[in-house]
Amino acid sequence: MSNAAQYLTEFGFTGLEAEIYAFLLVEWPASGYRIAQAIKKPAANTYKAIETLDQKGAILIEEGDKRLCKPVPLDELIERWGREREALTAKLKSELESTASTELDARIYTSRSRAFAIGRAQAMLQASKKSAHFLADSAALDQLAEDSQAAIERGVDLVFAEVPNGLRIVVDARLSLLGRGDLFYFAENPGFAEEVQAGLRAELAIDRIRKMLAEGAGGKRITKYLSSFELNLNSEE
3-state secondary structure of 48: helix
Total domains, the chain? 2
C-alpha dihedral sign at 145, 146, 151, 152: positive
CATH number at residue 46: 1.10.10.10
Same domain? 34 vs 126: no
pLDDT class for 189, splitting at 50, 70, 90? confident
Same domain? 220 vs 116: yes
- How far apart, in whole angstroms, are the C-alpha atoms of residue 109 and residue 217? 42
Say if 98 falls within a structural domain: no
Say if 165 falls within a structural domain: yes
- The reported pLDDT for the residue numbered 234 is 41
Is the separation of the CB atoms in 187 and 170 below 8 Å?
no
Say if 72 falls within a structural domain: yes
Average pLDDT over residues 204-215: 77
Average pLDDT, the chain: 82
- For residue 169, give the H/E element and its range: strand 167-171
Of 28, 59, 76, the domain-final residue: 76
Is the separation of the CB atoms in 33 and 44 below 8 Å?
no
Res 232 pLDDT > 60? no
Say if 90 falls within a structural domain: no
Q: Who contacts 111 (Cβ-Cβ below 8 Å, separation ≥6)?
A: 117, 183, 184, 186
Least confident stretch, 13-17, 82-86, 122-126, 195-199? 195-199
Range of the domain at 184: 108-236
Say if 210 falls within a structural domain: yes
Say if 141 falls within a structural domain: yes
Say if 183 falls within a structural domain: yes
Average pLDDT over residues 125-129: 93
Say if 181 falls within a structural domain: yes
pTM over cut 0.75: no
